[in-house]
Structure 1
Amino acid sequence: MKNLSVPAIDKTVKILNLLTETAVPLSGADIAKTLNLPRSSVHGILQCLTDAGLLRKADDRHFVLGAHVLYWANGFTAQQDIVAEFHQAITQIPELNAYTLTLSTLNHDQVVYLACRNSQAPLEVTFRIGMQLPAAFTATGKAVLSHMSDEEVAALITTFPAPYTDNSVRNLPELMQELVQIRRQGFALDNGQLRLGMFCFGIAFTDLGGQYYGVAASLSEQEADEAARTRLLAGLRRLADKLSAA
């Protein structure tokens, strides 16, 4: 069946995505210019979103996300038993206590973070629930992609993201080479592809319904010696097994 597109809804989604990604107040003119949309259309949509509580005015001209967005987010999270299982399981795996831990899944070519526990150790990234990052650069994203065929990956990543660092994989053929290695070794590594100096190890698993998720542990490059990697990966595999069984 051919996908149906409703122009007003498409514009609304683009506006909400833009305000989420920028995380700063934007005026109607800013939004129209950034998204290349008619100002009259943007003005009408902004008014409707504000009336619905999805946006609020930061001042007379600028808009930010409204509280009703949290209502939807909490509703989504409440349906994800895997989130509760994640928080319970990580308390039972002491070898992971020192690390930042995340649970995520794919949203098209992005990874969306469903749960996180940031460690006390300083990292260049603070993970947040709802954060989205390119799957091609993340440990959990690569781990999940490794369970797809090359054709499925190519169909998913139609426009390759711009690199975040000098270590970021540069194109689809390079990513495909990484996925071959990930399938062989059973885990994925972000070796500074999101932030230089930060290493993330990721493992993918499925729930009982066959939905793929990824768990990852993040640490500084200096901490990632062989002993730490061995301990960390053993803990991640235990975590993935617990979540898959649950």
Structure 2
Amino acid sequence: MTTTTRQKPGRTRSGETGSVRTLERGLLVLLALKELRRAPLSQIARQVGLSVSTTYRLLETLRQQGFVEWEEQTGLFSVGLRAYQVGLAFAERSNLIGAAQPEMDALVADLNETVNLAVLYDTEAVYVHQVEGRQLVRMFAHLGDSAPLHCSGVGKVLLAWRPEQDVRQKVGDGPYPAYTPHSITTLPALLGELGRVREQGYSLDNEERELGVRCVAVPVRDGTGQVVASLSVSAPTSRFSAQQIPEMAARMTRAAAQVSGRLGWEERTVR
């Protein structure tokens, strides 16, 4: 007669625990490379807070599987093709990007400025799609880059229609980092700004994150009326004056309404 010991839910054997920890570290290395773009071993190790030897073993395993590339001449590591393929699978699965593409193309044709699409991920706004403008000097973010919620156009839109309790959970009680003298740094100021965003239907990053740059962002809704993304356009203040803000916001709002319609949203569903 044999007896078995049932493992408690949420508990793992020691070997499994070690494997999970290795996986977590490997993912941290990939995320570090996403931020660093191309970097030597020593810099990656510092970024993730691991020893050089441990970081090298993780990188080598990822390289063998195609998630990391290594340039022999420079000794630099970068994100590999396999990681791109995984990200592409997300893009293909998400009908959000497909719904937004025609309107983003039309906006760039009309405005000749770069247009971005961002979603809320944890405590940041993450850029998931982009159509670049044709200006010699243009504003753009790398896909996968994140923006702070408290002082970016997309971040404020993604927060504005959430309950105050959720906002506090996402950004904390402050004070928040000041990227420029115009950045919002306190919770009361942020809550007041989010109220204005809801009232006017769009958000403005008026040199809050970077001096000399303005951004208008608008909400994209799904079939339930929930804000699931933010559509934005950024430009140097030399090409985007304060007087142009209402016209730019109106054009962006029309585009966002088209995207939302493709996702099943009807204006009457929003309260």
* 1:143-182 correspondence runs (5 A): 143-158=157-172, 162-182=177-197
CA contact (8 A) 1:166 1:193 kept: yes
Q: Where does residue 231 of structure 1 map in the other structure?
A: 247
How far did 1:161 drift? Answer: 5.8
Label 1:116 to 1:211 Cα distance change in 2 as closer, same or farther (>3 A).
same
Q: Which has the larger radius of gyration?
A: 2
2:238 is paired with a residue of what secondary structure? helix
Separation of aligned partners in 2, 1:93 and 1:113: 17
1:84 is the counterpart of 2:93: no
2:214 is paired with a residue of what secondary structure? strand
Separation of aligned partners in 2, 1:178 and 1:244: 24
Name the Cα RMSD after superposition.
Answer: 2.8
* 1:106-121 correspondence runs (5 A): 106-121=120-135
Q: Where does residue 32 of structure 1 map in the other structure?
A: 45
1:130 is the counterpart of 2:130: no
Aligned with 2:237 (options 202, 221, 244): 221
How far did 1:36 drift? Answer: 2.0
CA contact (8 A) 2:139 2:235 kept: no
Q: Where does residue 56 of structure 2 map in the other structure?
A: 43
Label 1:95 to 1:144 Cα distance change in 2 as closer, same or farther (>3 A).
same
Could you report, residue by residue, the CA deviation over 1:141-163 in whole angstroms, capped at 9, with x for unpaired residues? 10110011221112122487633
Q: Where does residue 89 of structure 2 map in the other structure?
A: 75
Label 1:161 to 1:170 Cα distance change in 2 as closer, same or farther (>3 A).
closer
1:48 is paired with a residue of what secondary structure? helix
Aligned with 1:12 (options 16, 26, 29): 26
Normalised by the length of structure 2, the TM-score is 0.79
Q: Which moved more, 1:175-184 or 1:55-64?
A: 55-64
How far did 1:226 drift? Answer: 5.6
Q: Where does residue 155 of structure 2 map in the other structure?
A: 141
How far did 1:75 drift? Answer: 0.9
Q: State the percentage of identical aligned residues.
A: 20
CA contact (8 A) 1:123 1:219 kept: no
- Residue ranges of structure 2 left out of the alignment (5+ in a row): 1-8, 263-271
How far did 1:214 drift? Answer: 0.5
1:205 is paired with a residue of what secondary structure? strand
Aligned with 1:202 (options 211, 217, 224): 217
Separation of aligned partners in 2, 1:35 and 1:112: 20
Normalised by the length of structure 1, the TM-score is 0.86
1:120 is paired with a residue of what secondary structure? coil
Q: Which moved more, 1:123-132 or 1:195-204?
A: 123-132
Aligned length: 244
Could you report, residue by residue, the CA deviation over 1:11-56 in whole angstroms, capped at 9, with x for unpaired residues? 22221111111112221x3323332224443232222111111111
Q: Which moved more, 1:84-93 or 1:73-82?
A: 84-93
How far did 1:130 drift? Answer: 2.2
Aligned with 1:184 (options 199, 213, 227): 199
- Residue ranges of structure 1 left out of the alignment (5+ in a row): none
Could you report, residue by residue, the CA deviation over 1:157-209 in whole angstroms, capped at 9, with x for unpaired residues? 24876333232222434322321221222211101122211110111121226
Separation of aligned partners in 2, 1:147 and 1:130: 23
How far did 1:135 drift? Answer: 2.3
